[in-house]
Amino acid sequence: MTNLQQHYSLESNLLEQLFSRKRDVIKAVDGVSLELERGETLGLVGESGCGKSTLSRTILQLIPSTGGKVEFQGIDLTALSRDAVRKHRRQMQWYFKIPTLV
Ligand SMILES: Nc1ncnc2c1ncn2[C@@H]1O[C@H](COP(=O)(O)OP(=O)(O)OP(=O)(O)O)[C@@H](O)[C@H]1O
Ligand SMILES: [Mg+2]
């Protein structure tokens, strides 16, 4: 992925987002770039709230990214329709953390 971003807007609805002067955004993921080859494993470690889940959700495009690219097998998932992303997502897997082990 290249320069991936997930900026959460805190305004509750679209109208508020358009008209509020000061934009309240949480830059949960702000410019993450990394590359994984087939067979490689990457562990994402960090304190609570640092953006691990947000990054994972954004990689899977479960929430559309606010910037950057996610390339999976050479295809940019951020440029695809929801249906097309869903097909690729069949090859991806989300593991929930097991709190009792933490
Ligand atoms: N839907 C949302 N809207 C606004 N802010 C959010 C949303 N989801 C997460 N955040 C904020 O984004 C930041 C990153 O949260 P995230 O859940 O990705 O962290 P995490 O590393 O997975 O934490 P944990 O280890 O507790 O699971 C936090 O400041 C969180 O409050
Ligand atoms: Mg999390």
pLDDT mean by block of 10 residues, the chain; 102 residues: 88 70 84 94 92 95 94 94 93 80 60
pLDDT score for 13: 72
85 sits in which H/E element: helix 82-89
Return d(Cα 35, Cα 14) in angstroms, integer: 34
Q: Which atom of ligand 1 is nearest to the CA of 97?
A: 27
Residue 4: CB atoms within 10 Å: 22
Domain boundaries, the chain: 2-14+22-34+43-101
pLDDT score for 2: 87
Question: Is the Cα dihedral 88, 79, 34, 73 positive or negative?
Answer: positive
pLDDT score for 102: 58
pLDDT score for 100: 75
| All residues with CB under 5 Å from ion ligand 2 | 52-53
**Dihedral, CA atoms, 21, 3, 29, 74, nearest 10 degrees?**
120
| Separation of CA 36 and ligand 1 centre (Å) | 24
Model confidence, pTM: 0.86
| Separation of CA 44 and ligand 2 centre (Å) | 10
pLDDT score for 10: 77
pLDDT score for 99: 74
Which residues does 76 contact at the CB level (< 8 Å), separation at least 6? 69, 70
